[in-house]
Amino acid sequence: MQMTEQDMTKLNQVRLEEGWKNSLTEFLLSERMDQIRSFLKEEIQADKVIYPPSSLIFNAFNTTPLSQVKAVIIGQDPYHGPNQAHGLSFSVQKGVALPPSLRNIFHELNSDLGIAPAKHGNLTQWAEEGVLLLNSVLTVEAGQPTSHQKQGWEDFTDAVIDVLNEQREHIVFILWGAYAQRKGQRIDQNKHLVLKAAHPSPLAANRGGFFGCKAFSKTNNYLKQNGIEPIKWQLEA
């Protein structure tokens, strides 16, 4: 695509890993992305607190470059409490109490691979191992869950999934809950592995379908079968 000087300026303002930026250029220059920017600007001008901090909105992409993605765990929205969200789905910053969903994820990891639950909920090490921790919506207003839905982020993350689906092979998409599974309908299961289970939130997990899903071992088995280094799921202190 032919880019103007204004386009280049707009792209240079996006703090996004180059592989992702190059593959998402069309969306980043689209009217839909402009709408997201305008919405966030209005929210900030109205003195609303937005999570995660602006420097961490694209943290998942900057920690897991496009070329290094082995697996994707799709979440819905960032956490809306103070010091929780830092741009990785299901992850919270160190020193913050584990949310119930993450506690259940650690329980399943222990049951599946015998890995003892971590003493913190920061999943950055997973992201560095090639797990794209992708929320469908990348921002939220403090104390207002789902407040930034239907403002354009869903279209952006659909574009992300399309890039992975079309440009890469042998990625494991971990879809927990109906929301993530709807999001994953566009994935080519002839090229990638799609793992579906109930959401790890207590209400859903306790109804059955999450515990025993063995997403972690199934992911590593698939990666090994395709000559890809398995993921080290053990979190260091």
**Residues 6 or more apart in contact with residue 98 via CB below 8 angstroms:** 92, 106, 120, 121
- 10 Å Cβ neighbour count for 137? 20
Catalytically active residues are 77
pLDDT band at 53 (very low <50, low <70, confident <90, very high): very high
Three-state DSSP at 109 gives: helix
pLDDT exceeds cutoff 90 at 4: no
What is the secondary structure of 3-18 as a DSSP string?
A: --HHHHHHHHTS---H
Please report how many Cα atoms fall inside a 13 Å half-sphere around the Cα of residue 219, on the Cβ side: 28
Q: Binning pLDDT at 50, 70 and 90, where does residue 197 land?
A: very high
Instruction: Tell whether the torsion through CA atoms of 177, 232, 96 and 85 is positive or negative.
Output: negative
Report, as an integer, the average pLDDT of 84-101: 96
Which range scores top for mean pLDDT: 4-8, 63-67, 200-204? 63-67
Q: How confident is the model at residue 207 (pLDDT cuts 50, 70, 90)?
A: confident
User: β-strand 50-51 against 131-135: which pairing, if any?
Assistant: unpaired
Q: Does residue 95 carry a pLDDT above 90?
A: yes
- Where residue 2 falls among pLDDT bands split at 50, 70, 90? low
What is the structure's pLDDT at 208?
85
Ramachandran category for residue 141: left, alpha or beta (phi over 0 → left; psi -120 to 50 → alpha):
beta
| Beta carbons of 32 and 155 less than 8 angstroms apart | yes
Look at residue 9 in the predicted model and tell me its pLDDT: 64
Averaged pLDDT score across all residues of the chain = 94
Over 60: is that where the pLDDT of 193 sits?
yes
